[in-house]
Amino acid sequence: MVDFAVGTLSDLSRMALLAQSDGGSFWLPPPESVSSWAVDNVFYYILYLSYFFFALIFAVLVLFVVRYRRRPGVEAVKTATHSTLLEAVWSLIPLGLVIIMFYAGFVGYVELRSPPEQAYEILVTARKWSWQFTYPDGTMATDLHVPVGEPVRLVMSSEDVIHSLSIPAFRVKMDVVPGRYTRTWFQAKQPGKFDLYCTEYCGTGHSDMLASVVVHQREAFDAWLVEAGDILGNSATPVEAGEKLFRLHGCGSCHSTDGTPRIGPTLKGIFGETHRFSDGSSLAVDENYVRQSINEPGAKIREGYKNQMPTYKGRLSNDEITALIQYLKSLDGG
């Protein structure tokens, strides 16, 4: 029991230390975007006010409990049962303080919601349970690569349910809603790698819907863009290209490559297997079947699964599908 208490106490102190080891404060991660002040300034304003008021309440409470604790023979002393002046004071002072709070938050919000005119625009597509970032030249990526020191605007939409894009280091968060476009922006201060989360609950893979934000110097960013843009050309083999495409298009959020079923069946070693479909028919898996599964997933529904796969028709070229098929073939049971 004592050990346990000591352990917990040391954990508590570890929490305090750990929280600062990344260069941030106890409360906030290090501010990595130029608009971080919009959150941080008012955050600390409220924080110190909260410390003050909590300390005040705590002190008064302890003082009263100790001084006026019940003792035999000592009666409570009658004091005023109300005081308009006192009550006006402790209504108006907080009122003034929260009006400042509101205004500071408003100013910060305007900053967070107003991207500069010539921002670099990246399209964000959210789907269960992966992110896809599309660049002006058509390049796609599953991590968000951005140049340092330039404003970046994200134009976001969802293919299925509501998601939310959150980058705590940049003080960025915006819901990604099906049926409409939402926007947010940031400007990274220095190169580095930061976490990106989905913060709107979206089902099974919600906590896996993570990505990295990679901030490059401009030249490195350009180089990355060229390389990422030509997947087929920059891969040694079609299998390697297929693997990249598999990740890029989020196949892995529904299909495993190690034999375990998820939302969809595993794609390990399917070539040559005979699969039964929900309409009772069956078929041996070959290249044509896989191609059809990708272009018209609803045509044949694998028995025991639901028609949940989105179509990739028009999003994957012939060569890309071929590469994917080569990759899937490489996953044979052996």
Partner 1 sequence: MATTVDGKTADFPTDRGPLNYLNCDRGILSWAFTLDHKRIGLMYLISIMASLGLGGLFAMLIRVELAHSGQQIVDENTYNQLFTLHGAIMVFLFILPGIPAALGNFVLPIMLGAKDVAFPRLNLASYHLWVIGALFFLLALVTGGLDTGWTLYVPYAFQTDTRVLTAGVGAFILGFSSIFTGINFVATIHTLRPPGMTWFKMPLFLWALYATAIIQVLATPVLGITLLLLAAELVLGIGIFDPTKGGDPILFQHFFWFYSHPAVYIMILPAMGIMSEVIPTFSRKHIFGYRFIAYSSVAIALLGFLVWGHHMFVSSQSSLASTIFSLLTFSVSIPSAIKVFNWLATMYKGSIALDTPMLYALSFILLFGIGGLTGLFLATLSTDVQLHDTYFVVAHFHYTMVGGTLIAFMAGLHYWWPKITGRMYNEFWGRLCSIGVFAGFNLTFFPQFVMGSRGMPRRYHDFPEKFEIFHFLSSIGAFLMGLAMLGVLIYLLYSLFKGRRAPANPWGSATLEWQCSSPPPKENFAETPSVSDPYDYDHIKYDPEKNCYYRVN
> 161-180: which residues touch Cu ion (CB under 5 A)?
163
Which of 39, 165, 198, 331 lies at the binding interface for Cu ion (CB under 5 A)? 198
Asked if 38 is part of the footprint of Cu ion (rule: CB under 5 A), the reply reads no
Phi, psi of 248 (to 5 degrees): -60, -35
Of the pair 173, 268, the CB lying nearest partner 1 is at: 173
Instruction: Tell me which residues in 271-330 interact with ligand HEC (CB under 6 A).
Output: 275, 290, 293-294, 297, 300-302, 305-309, 312, 324
> Closest separation between CB of residue 244 and ligand HEC, Å?
12
Q: Which is nearer to ligand HEC, 38 or 254 (CB)?
A: 254
**Binding piece for partner 1, criterion CB under 8 A, among 68-76, 222-230, 231-239, 316-324:** 68-76
| 81 sits near partner 1 (criterion: CB under 8 A) | yes
DSSP string computed for 119-155: PEEEEEEEETTEEEEE-TTS-EESSEEEETTSEEEEE
21/26 Cα distance (integer angstroms):
9
Tell me the site size for ligand HEC, rule CB under 6 A: 27
Mark residues 134-173: x for contact with partner 1 by CB under 8 A, - for none: --------------------------xxx-x-x-xx-xxx
Residue 189 contacts Cu ion per CB under 5 A: no
Could you say which of 125, 132, 253, 256 contacts ligand HEC (CB under 6 A)? 253
User: What's CA 220's distance to the chain center, in Å?
Assistant: 24
Report strand pairing: 120-127 vs 151-158: parallel
Residue 230 vs residues 138, 213, 241: alpha-carbon distances, Å: 10, 21, 10
Query: Could you tell me how many residues of this chain bind partner 1 (CB under 8 A)?
Result: 95
**Separation of alpha carbons 292 and 281, rounded Å:** 15
Distances (CA, A) of 206 to 131, 165, 212: 11, 12, 15
Given a contact cutoff of 8 angstroms between Cβ atoms, the answer to whether 255 and 264 are in contact is: yes
Give me the residues that bind ligand HEC (CB under 6 A), please: 128, 249-251, 253-255, 263-265, 267, 270, 275, 290, 293-294, 297, 300-302, 305-309, 312, 324
